[in-house]
Chains A and B, each alone.
Chain A
């Protein structure tokens, strides 16, 4: 069971970036997935979640209207389109998986995490 993030980089304020997370070793289409970020030297901050059928999508207030989460179950991939980026979006972005498989979002833990991809927003 593995998650590998990609797509991070250096971008100017106001710019855009698309993160991806490639899943392997488990039935990706059966799990709700999440993005969590961690600013340098700071704690974990939940960003967004999406259920198996993309019918339940949630965002943190700090990114709502600027970020879009999506998934492609045929390609076992999770994405985060980030627009109107701000300096405060600078962070290591992790994708994570729900502990249990379910079509609906669950109140359950995140049991598989990737190693993260770094996003730096700076002029």
Chain B
């Protein structure tokens, strides 16, 4: 199973960033999103497609349907600049799969 993410997304401060994660019928799977700032370990920002862990701002939201899952970050600020990865469980091969990652640049 493969997940496809755009390598980069750029957004101006205060605007909304949208990061996609494509996969065959990904809408039938649970999708997880991680944020990784330079030099740091990943942080879970969305689980079960759209749930936020405690401590993650409401500006972070997720959706999943068809062949695309989406991470949306509203009112983007400089601290959101990071790499973002989507993840799913491939229950055919019993493997975890990560997308290639998207570098979010705040202009």
Interface residues, chain A, with chain B CB atoms under 8 Å away: 34, 36, 43-46, 49, 58, 60-61, 94, 99, 107-111, 113-116
Tell me which of B43, B83, B89, B96 has the highest count of chain A C-beta atoms within 10 A of its own C-beta. Answer: B96
Partner of B99, one of A36, A43, A111: A43
State in angstroms the CA–CA spacing of A10 and B40 once bound together.
21
State in angstroms the CA–CA spacing of A45 and B96 once bound together.
9
Partner of A109, one of B29, B87, B101: B87
Query: Is B95 touching A60 in the complex (CB atoms < 8 A)?
Result: yes
Query: Is A99 touching B47 in the complex (CB atoms < 8 A)?
Result: yes
Known: A44-B85, A46-B97, A49-B96. A107 touches B91 (CB 8 A): yes
Nearest CB in chain A: distance from B46 CB, A: 8
Query: Is B98 touching A99 in the complex (CB atoms < 8 A)?
Result: no
Partner of B98, one of A44, A49, A114: A44
Query: Is B41 touching A44 in the complex (CB atoms < 8 A)?
Result: no
Nearest CB in chain A: distance from B77 CB, A: 23
Contacts A61-B95, A113-B41 given; 8 further ones with Cβ under 8 A? A36-B42, A43-B99, A44-B34, A44-B36, A44-B87, A94-B41, A99-B47, A110-B32
Nearest CB in chain A: distance from B43 CB, A: 8
Contact with A along B72-107 (1 / 0, CB 8 A): 000000000001010101010011111111000000
A-B contact pairs, 29 of them (CB 8 A): A36-B42, A43-B83, A43-B98, A43-B101, A44-B34, A44-B36, A44-B87, A44-B98, A45-B98, A46-B95, A46-B96, A46-B97, A94-B41, A99-B44, A99-B53, A107-B30, A107-B91, A108-B32, A108-B47, A108-B48, A109-B32, A109-B44, A109-B47, A109-B48, A110-B44, A113-B41, A113-B42, A115-B40, A116-B41
Chain B residue with Cβ nearest A107: B89
Nearest CB in chain A: distance from B55 CB, A: 11
Nearest CB in chain B: distance from A113 CB, A: 4
Partner of A111, one of B44, B96, B98: B44
Which A residues are in CB contact (< 8 Å) with B85?
43-44
Which B residues are in CB contact (< 8 Å) with A36?
42, 98
Query: Is A46 touching B44 in the complex (CB atoms < 8 A)?
Result: no
